[in-house]
Structure 1
Amino acid sequence: MSANQYNVKQIWILSVNISIASYIFLYTLGVFNTCTSNVAASLDWGDNTSTYINVFSTIIPVGQTIGCIVTPWFLDKLGRRKTIITQDILFIAGSIILVMPHTVTFGIGRFFTGFTSGVMATIGPVFINEVSPVEMIGKVGPLVVISNALGLLCSYSFGLFLPIENFSEDPNNYLWLFLFLFPAALCCYQLVYFLFFMKHDTPQFYLSKNMINEANQALRLTHNISGIGSGLRRVNSDIRGKTGISGIKLSLFGMIKEAKYKKMFRVSIGLAILSQLCGSTAIFFYSTTIFMKLGGGLFMARVVTVIMGLVNLISSTLSIVLIPHFGRKTLLISAEALVCIDMLLLGIFSQYADVGEIAIAILLIAFFVPFGYGLAAVFWMYLSEVLNDQIFTFSCIIIFLVSTSVSLVFPIAVESVGIGNSFLFFSVSMAIGILYVLFDCIESQGKTKDQILYEMRVLDASIAPENNPEESSSLQEEVECEVDENNEIKKVGQENELDKTNMSPEKYNEGKEFNPEELNNNSFSTSLNYSTTNK
């Protein structure tokens, strides 16, 4: 599909607004890290400070896990757009509860913001993947992780303005309230955008509900007239990726019973577990505590944490340059190898060799170089490419469950076996991850959805396409050259009329009946015949 077949500007605007959900997800995950002492002083935790810090650090991934579990229900019943709207409202309410000056309300607010951010973390990659043409996924896909990294950096940076001593006497100590209310303001903006400016869901959702006219309008939002055919072909492939042999749309539990989804489930579980055993969860939650435990002061710990967030953002942004030139597997394996080495050195230097605080700080910061481009940007893009939305959500559930487990076990492991041995465990996990990605994961770069589904063993050889990354373009050319038998509409005539009237494709087609057979008499019409009955 050429660039003139889809609305590049509209896709970027929509993707940026969707990615706000990803920003809120990681901001929520990291914001408590740099203001624990300030919150403890304001809420008078006293001798229970360590206990409350562990509880309220863990309650976020617990809420995110529960949110991720119910996300398939939201996506099926409400669609992508209305799910974001409801979660924006819930996050705003949770933030207001959180800043009420009481430990109980703080905990309740933390849970609800965690729940909401869990839904947002899941829906962002799915939403962007479904509204983006295949050719643009590599460009807009990294927005998810760039937004994540920016959210993490902001949550860390805001902590620099908080006092580091005399908490109860310094009026600036209550600035931590701003840290927790800031993402609620972003939710207000996103709520307004999806309520009043973006009123369409994805074609995939509309077709799953047999809402043909709405699917037509959604496609016209991101595709020009000449690109509608390829856009619908992409939707058709997505639908085939989550249906049974009989053509019936399957639920997640229905897919578990289908043998053809075995590899997809295996990849979703394997990558989900390995991604959380790289050490990122421990560093996100406890970077300030880790550095202080290794001898640094509170302010220096906050500075190092901010630098880590900045490096993570730069590395995530760098993925936009790397992704077009290297395969997904290559980037994943290289990132795992570098993290493996980094964690090995951290394990040795933090427990078995005294090299000083600066060396430890450098290694903690260096961790985010491979993590940002590989285990964050490429990882999430890869999952959205090789998994359908139900199994993608299932993978997110596993991610949050493992993240919760790591956040609970890590401080216990540090006390029992030492922080160095804890880092060594992450190093061994990455070594295993290299082998897993090398031997069980497919390469998805430059492949159509049908080709990916075939290599994931969801489609059989009788309907699998040839491994030709240019196939979608050639098929689109056939659509563009196709002329109606009655010569009622021709592509050239459409372009000329649009030029004369200066009308958008949306206005030009307003009121026309959507007929996929005009675009392709065979493959497109099949996508409209799938039953939406859950197995």
Structure 2
Amino acid sequence: MSAVTSSSVAEASEATPKTGLVVGIAVIAALGGLLFGYDTGVIGVALLGLGRQFALDDTTKQLVTGAIIFGALFGCLATGPFSDKLGRRRMVIFVGVLFAVGSIASALAPSVGWLIAARFLLGLSAGSSTQIIPVYIAEVSPSKHRGKMVTLFQFMVVFGITVAYFTGFVLGEHWRWMFGLGVVPAIVLLGGMAYLPESPRWLVAEKRIDEAMKVLERVRGSATAARAEIAEIETVAEQEPTSSWRDIAKPWIRPAVIVGAGISMFSQITGNNALIYYAPTILTKAGFSDEAAVLGTGASTVLLVIMTVIGSFLVDKIGRRTYLLWMIPGSIVALIVMGFMFQGAGPQNDFSRWLTVGCLAAYMMLNCGSFGICIWLINSEVYPLFVRGKGASIGAFSHWTFDLIVTLTTLSLVTWLGATHTFWLYAVISVFALAFVYYLVPETAGKSLEEIEHELREHRFYPFQKKRLAQH
């Protein structure tokens, strides 16, 4: 068994990693996030033209929108075991192929049924990307910069959503072109991944130590740092058996499952993607023209991109947990105010309409800009190495399950409860999300993946467990 000495760890921490190379790896891999964001965001614009061309009612609109999410449920679960068996890099390449095929099939759809099937295929790739890409980036990145590197995935997601809205604004009724353009970043992803290395942690788990050493020397810029990191990974890996799904249920791993699945659930049931998918539809019902609704939502996503950039630095500086605790209360206020704006007949003048858009922008910045960054980051960090692929699959499955529920109910909720009470319902759920983060979500910033695993094994993972230990 390899030993991790204090001197070797110190040498590793003092080494200067090749940050530019790591950033390049993360950017190329995170293009899968751009595809995910584009394909989920573009439906919000395309529905306006699709709805008229195919005479879609609210139920059918929800089915077309929900098809990608239904596919994602299968994609995220299947990818975990395959990524553990075949490698992270191969699965990212597979994601790119699925995105390309799904984009072309969506653009050629002659009927609603065909479109739903094509969107399901895109869902397989979107679900796979949310499982494998954050894990791949986290396992390549040094702990000091892991937060910024992994959140590049979320930056690409929100950037993809923004590109989708403004592409839709330019293309107007031409929804086939909107879908077809998704093939462009898919080709770039496939070309880039041909030159990227495999995850060194996966290579160690597969006993391919020499290959892992070469990768770490390349990305850490130091043979000493690479050897120290290999030793630390081996120390943890040698304690662990070959994983199965039953391992996820082990009592010492269960806290990671609760945190990973819980944070993913709350990211959706607080209304996050509901407004991204249906904001243009909701704004047109508030009196905006199609163009103004798309442009207003697109402007909101620009602010979300800016917030994601800011957040990607804050999650490493102040921590993941603190960042969530700062942002969620503001999103609750935005939801409450939006609810007031839709009382009665809804916004009746330009001031109230644009105040509604302002609240929408604030909500997207504070909710999507907090949960969106942290869910993929936390799910790539909290699980032990030998079940990390499967654990990340559970987090992604939770995200997509509740995303599907929200997608299939949002327009119906607005019809049954009214927009006011729908927004207030999301605000109440957000209060429970805030309590969940405060009591259960641990701080992982600045810790190696192996340190986080040690805390899990020693039952000092939850914040309240650490407080209890400190008191004794």
Matched, 1:215 2:216: no
Matched, 1:264 2:256: yes
Change in CA separation of 1:284 and 1:460 when aligned onto 2, cut-off 3 Å: closer
Q: Deviations over 1:75-107 (max 9, x none)?
A: 023211111222222222222222224113322
Q: How does 1:441-460 map to 2 (within 5 A)?
A: 441-455=441-455, 457-459=456-458
Change in CA separation of 1:3 and 1:181 when aligned onto 2, cut-off 3 Å: farther
Matched, 1:53 2:53: no
How far residue 40 of structure 1 moved from its aligned partner, in angstroms, is: 4.2
Q: Look up the match of 2:401.
A: 401
Quote the Cα distance in structure 2 between the aligned partners of 1:145 and 1:9: 19
Q: Look up the match of 2:33.
A: 22
Matched, 1:35 2:33: no
Ranges in structure 1 where 5+ consecutive residues have no aligned partner: 164-172, 462-466, 468-535
2:272, 2:368 within 8 Å by CA — same for their partners in 1?
Answer: no
SS at match of 2:270: coil
Q: Deviations over 1:339-367 (max 9, x none)?
A: 11111222222126965312211111111
How far residue 382 of structure 1 moved from its aligned partner, in angstroms, is: 2.7
Considering Cα pairs closer than 8 Å and 6+ residues apart, tell me whether 1 or 2 has the greater RCO. 2
Ranges in structure 2 where 5+ consecutive residues have no aligned partner: 1-11, 461-465, 467-472
Instruction: Give TM-score, length-normalised by structure 2.
Output: 0.87
Amino acid at match of 1:423: F
Deviates more, 1:51-60 or 1:110-119: 51-60
Q: How does 1:434-513 map to 2 (within 5 A)?
A: 434-455=434-455, 457-459=456-458
Q: Look up the match of 1:230.
A: 228
Q: Deviations over 1:278-327 (max 9, x none)?
A: 21121011001111112211111011110111011010011134234313
Q: Which has the higher helix share?
A: 2
Q: Look up the match of 1:133.
A: 142
Quote the Cα distance in structure 2 between the aligned partners of 1:236 and 1:341: 47
Quote the Cα distance in structure 1 between the aligned partners of 2:140 and 2:182: 25
Q: Look up the match of 1:514.
A: none
Change in CA separation of 1:259 and 1:2 when aligned onto 2, cut-off 3 Å: closer
Matched, 1:70 2:78: yes
Amino acid at match of 1:229: R
Change in CA separation of 1:384 and 1:237 when aligned onto 2, cut-off 3 Å: farther
SS at match of 1:317: helix
Change in CA separation of 1:410 and 1:234 when aligned onto 2, cut-off 3 Å: farther
2:148, 2:313 within 8 Å by CA — same for their partners in 1?
Answer: no
Change in CA separation of 1:31 and 1:414 when aligned onto 2, cut-off 3 Å: same
Please report the RMSD computed on the Cα atoms of aligned residues, expressed in angstroms.
2.2
How far residue 207 of structure 1 moved from its aligned partner, in angstroms, is: 2.3
Change in CA separation of 1:206 and 1:400 when aligned onto 2, cut-off 3 Å: same
Task: Name which of 92, 100, 111 aligns with 2:108.
Answer: 100
How far residue 237 of structure 1 moved from its aligned partner, in angstroms, is: 6.5
Instruction: Give TM-score, length-normalised by structure 1.
Output: 0.78
Q: Look up the match of 1:526.
A: none
Quote the Cα distance in structure 2 between the aligned partners of 1:216 and 1:161: 48
How far residue 398 of structure 1 moved from its aligned partner, in angstroms, is: 0.7
How far residue 179 of structure 1 moved from its aligned partner, in angstroms, is: 1.7
In our comparison, the structure showing a higher alpha carbon Rg is 1
Quote the Cα distance in structure 2 between the aligned partners of 1:237 and 1:24: 37
1:312, 1:372 within 8 Å by CA — same for their partners in 2?
Answer: yes
Q: Look up the match of 2:191.
A: 192
Change in CA separation of 1:251 and 1:306 when aligned onto 2, cut-off 3 Å: same
Deviates more, 1:338-347 or 1:217-226: 217-226
Quote the Cα distance in structure 2 between the aligned partners of 1:375 and 1:70: 24
Kindly, what percent of the aligned residue pairs are identical? 21
Amino acid at match of 2:193: F
Q: How does 1:322-401 map to 2 (within 5 A)?
A: 322-351=314-343, 356-388=352-384, 389=388, 390-401=390-401
How far residue 329 of structure 1 moved from its aligned partner, in angstroms, is: 1.5
Q: Look up the match of 1:508.
A: none
Quote the Cα distance in structure 2 between the aligned partners of 1:280 and 1:392: 20
Task: Name which of 146, 162, 168 aligns with 1:153.
Answer: 162
Q: Look up the match of 2:237.
A: 239
Matched, 1:86 2:84: no
How far residue 208 of structure 1 moved from its aligned partner, in angstroms, is: 2.4
- Aligned residue pairs: how many? 440
Matched, 1:203 2:200: yes
Change in CA separation of 1:207 and 1:334 when aligned onto 2, cut-off 3 Å: same
Change in CA separation of 1:38 and 1:460 when aligned onto 2, cut-off 3 Å: closer
Change in CA separation of 1:325 and 1:219 when aligned onto 2, cut-off 3 Å: closer
Quote the Cα distance in structure 2 between the aligned partners of 1:136 and 1:237: 22
Change in CA separation of 1:154 and 1:237 when aligned onto 2, cut-off 3 Å: farther
Quote the Cα distance in structure 2 between the aligned partners of 1:329 and 1:378: 9
Amino acid at match of 1:114: G
Q: Look up the match of 1:123.
A: 132
Quote the Cα distance in structure 1 between the aligned partners of 2:345 and 2:63: 32
Quote the Cα distance in structure 1 between the aligned partners of 2:151 and 2:135: 13
Quote the Cα distance in structure 1 between the aligned partners of 2:364 and 2:232: 34
How far residue 234 of structure 1 moved from its aligned partner, in angstroms, is: 4.9
1:152, 1:309 within 8 Å by CA — same for their partners in 2?
Answer: yes
